[in-house]
């Protein structure tokens, strides 16, 4: 029996709400589905088996990489697509993908992923060759990247970008997620204190629990790690981003932090939004306007190839509305009305934009 080309690999626990939709999005697209159940007490195992998945049971060991590697080791395909139970495949061209997977120079392909509704998509390493030296590392935020980097150095194999597209739909209960994640994040950071993403996630988890002082300390630790690096990736911006937003929300000074972050990550649109927010809060409307204009001119639909996902609300209508408010404060009422009109054209059901446009237009007419 010939070896299948592509296996989908999942790890699940109590995912009956999403699992069926996930698996149905894979049927007819992949050659086999492997589901590793780590201790469900709902219908997840039955759903997996009813849709033809091969079910593997493994006790949860507080280690995401270990569970993920069990799914990889059970897969028979030449290539593996790893996906979570609360995600679905929304674009998949099998013929085009087969051409990609036939390239002997490539060890891994990225896919497009939207992490939550209202966000842009970004690229994640989800498709990779099924070979024993490609395994996940990390008790949380498990990653193939260290193994891929070693393989690149050893054999010169690279990575490519596929057109496969995933959507993420599920959001765990914040309290349960924090109870699970906090000890794992602290465990990873004890052994790997330079893992920037875990510092960012630790801060966000503590903030969700109401521990703002602990969150700020975690983000500051992450930012300190980033300062020591000779080279930085887009993801290294996250501690600065979370910390700057936190400081602005508390009406504290984020000037130095934002200047540092924007120097290192000049293409980060979320930092641009925060920098514009800061200037607006200081009533420096003229200086804020070019930053809001930059965001208003950015087509969020064209950001799918990047390394970060963005809240799409910082582009388009909201950016034009911010320009309208700045112009209004500057008593440039006709200009303000024009910006609100642009916002209204993008979001015609928003009564607030319409009311503000009409008010600014009336002010312009009244002189």
Q: Which 3-state string (H, E, C) describes 262-305? A: HHHCCCCHHHHHHHHHHHHHCCCHHHHHHHHHHHHCCCHHHHCC
Based on the fold, state whether residues 178 and 280 are members of the same structural domain.
no
Integer Cα distance of 85 and 107 in angstroms:
24
Based on the fold, state whether residues 87 and 151 are members of the same structural domain.
yes
Residue 1 inside a domain? The answer is no
Integer Cα distance of 4 and 11 in angstroms:
20
Length of the chain: 367
**In angstroms, what is the C-alpha Rg of the chain?**
23
Q: Domain boundary residue among 131, 152, 168?
A: 168
Q: What is the DSSP string of 35-76?
A: EEESS--SSHHHHHHHTTPEEEE----S-HHHHHHHHHHH--
Integer Cα distance of 307 and 270 in angstroms:
13
Cβ atoms of 48 and 121 within 8 Å: the answer is no
Based on the fold, state whether residues 160 and 19 are members of the same structural domain.
yes
β-bridge partners, 160:
109
Q: Domain boundary residue among 168, 194, 227?
A: 168
SS3 353: helix
Based on the fold, state whether residues 20 and 158 are members of the same structural domain.
yes
Phi, psi of 37 (to 5 degrees): -95, 125
List the Cα angle 283/288/292 in 5-degree steps.
135
Based on the fold, state whether residues 61 and 140 are members of the same structural domain.
yes
CATH number assigned to the domain comprising residue 117? 3.90.550.10
Based on the fold, state whether residues 91 and 108 are members of the same structural domain.
yes
Based on the fold, state whether residues 296 and 365 are members of the same structural domain.
yes
Nearest-10 Cα torsion for 204, 208, 214, 218: -10
Residue 183 inside a domain? The answer is yes
Residue 18 inside a domain? The answer is yes
Based on the fold, state whether residues 152 and 108 are members of the same structural domain.
yes
Tens-digit pLDDT string for the chain (367 aa): 688 999 999 999 999 999 999 999 999 999 999 999 999 999 999 999 999 999 999 999 999 999 999 999 999 999 999 999 999 999 999 999 999 999 999 999 999 999 999 999 999 999 999 999 999 999 999 999 999 999 999 999 999 999 999 999 987 677 778 889 999 999 999 999 999 999 999 999 999 999 999 999 999 999 999 999 999 999 999 999 999 999 999 999 999 999 999 999 999 999 999 999 999 999 999 999 999 999 999 999 899 999 999 999 999 999 999 999 999 999 999 999 999 999 999 999 999 999 999 999 999 999 7
Instruction: State pTM to two decimals.
Output: 0.94
Residue 197 inside a domain? The answer is yes
CATH number assigned to the domain comprising residue 275? 1.25.40.10
Residue 103 inside a domain? The answer is yes
Structure tokens at 159: 């990575």
Based on the fold, state whether residues 135 and 210 are members of the same structural domain.
no
Integer Cα distance of 135 and 148 in angstroms:
9
Structure tokens at 208: 């969700």
Residue 189 inside a domain? The answer is yes
Q: What is the strand order of the sheet 87-91 is part of?
A: 54-57, 32-37, 6-12, 79-82, 122-129, 106-114, 158-168, 87-91
Residue 227 inside a domain? The answer is yes
Based on the fold, state whether residues 27 and 118 are members of the same structural domain.
yes
How many domains is the chain built from? 3
Cβ atoms of 160 and 109 within 8 Å: the answer is yes
Q: Domain boundary residue among 136, 168, 200?
A: 168
Residue 280 inside a domain? The answer is yes
Nearest to 19 by CA among 84, 70, 67: 84
Q: Where are the alpha helices (DSSP H) in the chain?
A: 19-26, 44-50, 64-74, 94-101, 145-155, 174-191, 196-208, 212-227, 238-249, 255-264, 269-281, 285-296, 316-329, 333-346, 351-366
Based on the fold, state whether residues 260 and 276 are members of the same structural domain.
no
Based on the fold, state whether residues 141 and 93 are members of the same structural domain.
yes
Integer Cα distance of 25 and 33 in angstroms:
11
Domain range for residue 34?
6-168
């Amino acid at each position: 029996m010939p070896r299948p080309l592509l296996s989908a690999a999942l790890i699940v626990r109590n995912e009956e709400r999403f699992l069926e939709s996930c698996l149905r999005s894979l049927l007819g697209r992949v050659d086999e589905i492997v589901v590793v159940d780590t201790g469900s007490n709902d219908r997840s195992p039955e759903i997996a088996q009813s849709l033809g998945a091969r079910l593997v049971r493994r006790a949860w060991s507080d280690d995401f990489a270990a569970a993920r590697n069990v799914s990889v080791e059970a897969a028979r395909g030449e290539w593996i697509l790893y996906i979570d139970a609360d995600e679905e495949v929304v674009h998949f061209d099998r013929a085009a993908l087969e051409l990609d997977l036939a390239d002997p120079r490539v060890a891994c392909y990225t896919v497009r992923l939207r992490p939550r509704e209202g966000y842009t998509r970004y690229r994640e390493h989800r498709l990779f060759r099924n070979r024993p030296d490609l395994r996940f590392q990390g008790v949380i935020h498990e990653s193939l990247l260290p193994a891929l980097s070693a393989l690149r150095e050893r054999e010169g194999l690279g990575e490519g970008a596929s057109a496969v597209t995933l959507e993420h739909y599920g959001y765990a209960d914040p309290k349960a997620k924090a109870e699970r994640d906090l000890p794992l994040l602290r465990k990873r950071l004890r052994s790997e204190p330079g893992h920037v993403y875990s510092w960012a996630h630790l801060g966000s988890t503590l903030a969700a629990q109401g521990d703002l002082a602990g969150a700020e300390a975690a983000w500051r630790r992450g930012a300190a790690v980033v300062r020591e690096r000779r080279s930085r990736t887009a993801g290294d911006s996250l501690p600065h981003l979370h910390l700057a937003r936190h400081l602005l929300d508390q009406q504290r000074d984020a000037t130095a932090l934002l200047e540092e972050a924007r120097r290192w990550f000049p293409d980060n649109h979320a930092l641009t939004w925060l920098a514009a927010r800061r200037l607006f809060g200081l009533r420096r409307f003229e200086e804020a306007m070019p930053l809001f204009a930059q965001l208003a001119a950015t087509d969020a639909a064209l950001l799918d190839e990047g390394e970060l996902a963005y809240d799409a609300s910082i582009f388009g209508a909201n950016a034009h509305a911010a320009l309208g408010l700045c112009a209004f404060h500057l008593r440039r009422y006709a200009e303000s009305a024009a910006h609100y009109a642009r916002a209204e054209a993008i979001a015609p059901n928003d009564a607030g934009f319409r009311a503000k446009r009409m008010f600014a237009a009336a002010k312009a007419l009244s002189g």
